[in-house]
Amino acid sequence: MKSVQPLQNVITTRRAAAALVTAALLVPLAACGKSDDTKDTGGAKKDGQKTELTVLAAASLTDVFKTAGAAYEKDHPGTTVKFSFAGSQELAAQVKQGSPADALVTADTKTMDRLKADTGSSTVIAKNRLVIAAGKGNPKNLKDLKDLAKSDLKVVLAAPEVPVGRYSQQVLDGQKVTVKPVSQEPNVRAVLSKVELGEADAGIVYKTDITAADGKAEGIDIPDAQNAIASYPAATLKESKNTDAAAEFVKWLSTPEAQKILLDAGFQKA
Judge if 154 and 237 occupy the same domain.
no
pLDDT of residue 37: 38
| Residue partners of 92: CB distance under 8 A and separation at least 6 | 106, 111, 114, 115
Q: What is the CATH number of the domain that holds 225?
A: 3.40.190.10
Judge if 111 and 134 occupy the same domain.
no
Whether 15 is covered by a domain: the verdict is no
**Least trusted range by pLDDT, from 8-17, 107-116, 173-182, 229-238:** 8-17
E-strand stretches of the chain = 51-58, 79-86, 103-105, 123-135, 155-158, 183-185, 202-206, 217-221, 229-236
pLDDT of residue 177: 98
pLDDT of residue 47: 54
Instruction: Render pLDDT for 47-90 as a digit per residue (tens, 0 to 9).
Output: 556 899 999 999 999 999 999 999 999 999 999 999 999 999 99
User: CA angle, corner 206, sides to 159 and 188, nearest 5?
Assistant: 35
Judge if 61 and 186 occupy the same domain.
no
User: For residue 199, which amino acid is it?
Assistant: E
72: domain range? 51-127+231-264
- Torsion angle of the four alpha carbons 53, 59, 64, 70, in this order, in degrees rounded to the nearest 10: 20
pLDDT of residue 32: 41
Whether 5 is covered by a domain: the verdict is no
pLDDT of residue 253: 98
Whether 211 is covered by a domain: the verdict is yes
Q: In angstroms, rounded to a whole number, what is the distance separating the alpha carbons of residues 188 and 193?
A: 9
pLDDT of residue 144: 97
| Residue partners of 68: CB distance under 8 A and separation at least 6 | 253, 258, 261, 262
Helix (H, G, I), strand (E, B) or coil at 252: helix
Name the domain count of the chain: 2
Region 116-138: what's the mean pLDDT?
Answer: 97
Helix (H, G, I), strand (E, B) or coil at 231: strand
Whether 16 is covered by a domain: the verdict is no
Instruction: Render pLDDT for 94-123 as a digit per residue (tens, 0 to 9).
Output: 999 999 999 999 999 999 999 999 999 999
Q: Is the pLDDT of residue 17 over 70?
A: no
Q: Is the pTM of this model over 0.75?
A: yes
Region 202-228: what's the mean pLDDT?
Answer: 97
Judge if 237 and 108 occupy the same domain.
yes
Q: How far is CA 201 from CA 27, 80, 114, 189, 227, in A?
A: 76, 40, 34, 15, 20
pLDDT of residue 48: 57
Mean pLDDT of the chain: 87
